[in-house]
Amino acid sequence: MPMPRRPSPTWWTSARLWLLAWVASLGGLLFGYNATTLGLVATTAADDWSLDLTSQYALSGAFFLGAILGGMLMGRFSDVLSRKDVITAAAACYAFFGFACAISGRFEELLLARFLLGSIVGVTSLAIPLYIAEISRPRNRGALVSLNQLSITLGILLAFGFENGWLTTPTLSQLYTVSGILAVIVSLGAILLPESPAWLVKQGDGEQAADVLANVLGMNASSEIAEINAGLADTDRHGLVQLLQPSNRRLLGIGVLLFSVQQLSGINFILQKAGDGSLFGATPPGWNLVIAIGIVNLLGTVVFIALVDRIGRRPLLLGGMAALALCLMGLIAEAGGTLAPDAVRPVLMIGYVFCFAISLGPIPWLFVAEIYPLAIRGISMSIPITVNWVLNAFMVFAALSVRSSSDTLTVYWISLAATVAGIPLCWRLVPETRRLRFSQIRRLWHRLGTSDEGYEIAATLATSVVTIGGIFFGYNLTVIAGALLQIRSVFSLTPLTSGLVVSSVLVGAILGSYLGGHLAAVFGRRSILLSTTVLLIVGSAVSGLSESVPILVLGRLVTGVATGVTASIVPLYISEISPAAIRGRLNGIQHLAVCIGVLAAYGANTALMPNPEGWRAMLYLGSVPALMMGIGTLFLPESPRWLLSKSRFSTARLMLARLCVADPDREIARITTAAQQPTGQVKAMGLFSSTVRPPLLIGLALVFFQECTGIIIVTYYSPTIFQACGVQDPTTASLLTTIGVGVFGLLMTLLSFLVVDRIGRRKLFLLGILGILASSLGFAFIFSGPAIVSASARYLVLACFILFVTSFSLSIGAVCGMVISEIYPQAVRDRAIGFVIAFQLLCGMVASFVFPTLVEAVGLATVFSINAAITALGIPFWYAFMPETRGKSLEEIERHWLAGKRPSALR
């Protein structure tokens, strides 16, 4: 059946399109009216119910919290729900909640009604511009979408009128009755709206879309539907993956930038403070500057609508922002006493509002409505709009908190700084979309990218979930240091029982890491990770609720076993799902997560130490990341490589599709090529066979260097190091330790995460070895001499400390874990990684006992000399054995070992 067509649009079809857009935009009336009456509602309620300032803030906060949640939820469901139905239902709910506010008899009832009212405002703030953009023609899309801003300004003007004389003494009932009546009008108008053709095509209802396009909107149905289908043709990837594509990430950043500058430029502060007239000086007789500001805001929006599709978005945005900055400079000069307030302030205020109305007011809403891909337009819009509501709330609370002229001046300075900073950013980043069709915008600003782009994003998302286990690992091994101070007094611990409490988690972790590899080989990576989260939660709960030492040790042992399992399986899983190009970077996230867990443990110790029972919360809080990881793991795919090793080809193909691999069949063929090598011999020979032995020994050497090159000494004795630098207060020295080892180490780990796939594992490892060697020799020299008294010696100590932490975190701390997750053949990868991680934990436990004993026996200088000697062994190891795995697939690495080649050949 041929699609209905219409010739070029007549004046009536154009007028009908403007009418439909105007009806849809009427929801903006509710937005503007309620956002502007926030302060009046709060003060009126305070007078009626004798509310304090906190309760007034709560009323405003409930509205904004609802708006934030409404915008977020609308973003999630707007690509599923009908655009028209959302607008219609939102208007009806608005009327209901508006009348609910009007009849509220108690503060709690009004608070709830305000929250629900805000949620509907949040929904409509996204749904209206989205709908209008999708029914508009390119040549007047800017003007039609900006009708929403015009409605907002009308709502603001209406609110100003009620605040300044239209109602003698407005009551809550009157204010919200007006809101309810407006909502009824909007809901009746929304019934007349047609459905968005783009949404109908997306749902597969092409005939209904063609009817709306031809008979209601007067457009060429065939060409419009073809364009919509073209917009959907490249969106077969998972929505979240497409959302995070580089091209869309940039556009999300631009949307956030526009809304941030919009709100921080101070408009809501001006509008909120305009109601009481306190921002104006003496006004000419017969003038009401509050109403004048509302009218100027309205006229400015009309000017914008007339110009936006003629001269474009960018000239209006940049010109308006420059003029806005000049007005803010004048307001600052006036507030500082440089200009006469009575003569200048009204002119500056009116100029400010006009400049805002022709630039920052409507353009962010227009930008987010037309720039994002059709398939994810709703969820993309929700991100900058949520930022808008958050900053909107911030500026409104700033207005409510202003008590003096100096406070006003501070807000002006913040607004000027945001506006001035935004001008070059908007000039550089914001595109011009005047009269462009959606398909042209997509071609200009959205690229499909490489075939691996979706795969890389999906693998990154999966990695972000499983590395939450790294947060638990770092937290669980570190938090006991603070908790033990309270546990000793609660249970009257002896040195023996203290050692049991501390070491039980390490013993459990060693056992768990060894068993984890074997379990993952039989039951799969995802299944074991999911089961382990239960043990993590149970162990944390038992530890935190324990009433005796045996129960505490048992809980710590269970937690340790689960920690060890995750420590061995997480890097294994990451390596098996990651593209070779970013595998090192993704494995680096695991070490980054461990650093975050360490910092979280430091924070928990500090925050909970004043509470005598704080140790229970310290131990129990470990269940939070465990629960998060468990929930996230439910949505993860199983490792395709493990499935292929079990000959489950169809399931592996499905998992590769979930990871957004462009050609799953080709990937399966590539992976199974290695399986056609004599892998059966590897299984038969086992973990210590001649084929597996070289990479196994390399892994053991790497974790030995990671644990035994002094990080334990520097962490344990860092207060002594800082005291040598002149810091005598133990508390300050401990704080500097947290900042130096924790925060600085985290930053360096983040840097290694960014560069490891560019410069390679070998170069980073060598840089780390040389840095640790130099700093260890420096420490040995410093602590072998007399007490440090000179400023130069103290700076040398500090330089050695920074060099050590930088070298370890940037290199050995991150690189070793990456390499051991990459170098083993598929048949033994799970067991080999588990064995190496168990050896790593054993080395760490031995080092933590041996190094302090050595310091007591031979002194810190000698221990650092020993540490330098151990570190120096890393140089010949690097030269002869350290492989380079950057850019190589796991199958390429496997073929290298199966061919019996030397480690030095893997470069």
- Cα separation, 35 vs 47, in Å, equals 20
Q: How many residues does the chain have?
A: 907
Give me the pLDDT at residue 793, please. 67
Quickly state the pLDDT bin for 441 (edges 50, 70, 90): confident
> Is 319's pLDDT higher than 90?
yes
- Cα separation, 98 vs 527, in Å, equals 49
Quickly state the pLDDT bin for 157 (edges 50, 70, 90): confident
Q: Two tokens at 599?
A: 């910092």
Q: Which long-range contacts (CB under 8 A, 24 or more apart) does 215-218 make?
A: 215/4, 215/6, 216/16, 216/20, 217/13, 217/16, 217/17, 217/20, 217/135, 218/6, 218/9, 218/10, 218/13, 218/14, 218/16, 218/17
Reported as a single tens digit per residue, the pLDDT across 371-415 is 888 778 888 888 899 898 888 888 877 776 777 777 788 888 889
Reported as a single tens digit per residue, the pLDDT across 798-826 is 788 888 888 888 888 888 888 988 898 88
> Is 505's pLDDT higher than 70?
yes
Quickly state the pLDDT bin for 716 (edges 50, 70, 90): low
Q: Two tokens at 344?
A: 């200048």
Amino acid at 616: R
Please work out, in degrees rounded to the nearest 5, the angle formed at the alpha carbon of residue 106 by the alpha carbons of 100 and 108.
Answer: 85
Cα-based distances in Å from 580 to 35, 460, 577, 886 = 51, 12, 9, 7
- Cα separation, 109 vs 126, in Å, equals 27
pLDDT more than 90, % of the chain? 16
Burial of 514 (0-12, 13-18, 19+ CB in 10 A): buried
Match 């001006």 to its residue by tokens: 270
Report the sign of the C-alpha dihedral through residues 509, 510, 511, 516, in that order.
positive
Q: Which long-range contacts (CB under 8 A, 24 or more apart) does 485-492 make?
A: 485/609, 486/609, 486/612, 486/613, 486/614, 486/615, 487/552, 487/615, 490/615, 491/548, 491/549, 491/552
| Three-class SS of 846-867 | HHHHHHHHHHHHHCHHHHHHHH
User: What are the respective helix, strand and coil percentages of the chain, to the nearest 5?
Assistant: 80, 0, 20
> Is 723's pLDDT higher than 50?
yes
Least confident of 152-156, 219-223, 758-762: 219-223
Quickly state the pLDDT bin for 78 (edges 50, 70, 90): low
Least confident of 449-458, 555-564, 582-591, 771-780: 449-458
Give me the pLDDT at residue 360, please. 93
Give me the pLDDT at residue 79, please. 63
Give me the pLDDT at residue 606, please. 78
Amino acid at 608: L
- Do the beta carbons of residue 900 and residue 888 sit within 8 Å? no
> Is 339's pLDDT higher than 70?
no
pTM higher than 0.75, yes or no?
no
Match 């603001």 to its residue by tokens: 156
- Cα separation, 225 vs 4, in Å, equals 12
Give me the pLDDT at residue 338, please. 62
> Is 581's pLDDT higher than 60?
yes
Reported as a single tens digit per residue, the pLDDT across 198-229 is 888 888 888 888 888 887 777 877 888 887 87
Look at 743 and 428; give whichever has higher pLDDT. 428
DSSP string over 25-60: HTHHHHHHHHHHTHHHHHHHHHHHHT--HHHHHHHH
Quickly state the pLDDT bin for 367 (edges 50, 70, 90): very high
Report the sign of the C-alpha dihedral through residues 812, 813, 816, 819, in that order.
negative
Quickly state the pLDDT bin for 7 (edges 50, 70, 90): very low
Look at 542 and 83; give whichever has higher pLDDT. 542
Quickly state the pLDDT bin for 285 (edges 50, 70, 90): very low
Quickly state the pLDDT bin for 767 (edges 50, 70, 90): very high
Q: Two tokens at 2?
A: 């041929």
Which domains are seen in the chain, by residue range? 11-445 (1.20.1250.20), 453-636 (1.20.1250.20), 689-907 (1.20.1250.20)
Q: Two tokens at 636?
A: 């993860």
Hey, which of 517-526, 598-607, 668-677, 711-720 has the most confident mean pLDDT? 517-526
Look at 715 and 491; give whichever has higher pLDDT. 491
Q: Two tokens at 288?
A: 């009401």
Compute CA 387 distance to the chain's CA centroid, rounded to the nearest angstrom: 12
Match 């068993």 to its residue by tokens: 515
> Is 104's pLDDT higher than 70?
yes
> Is 719's pLDDT higher than 50?
yes
Mean pLDDT of 50-63: 76
- Cα separation, 840 vs 707, in Å, equals 7
Compute CA 752 distance to the chain's CA centroid, rounded to the nearest angstrom: 20
> Is 830's pLDDT higher than 90?
no
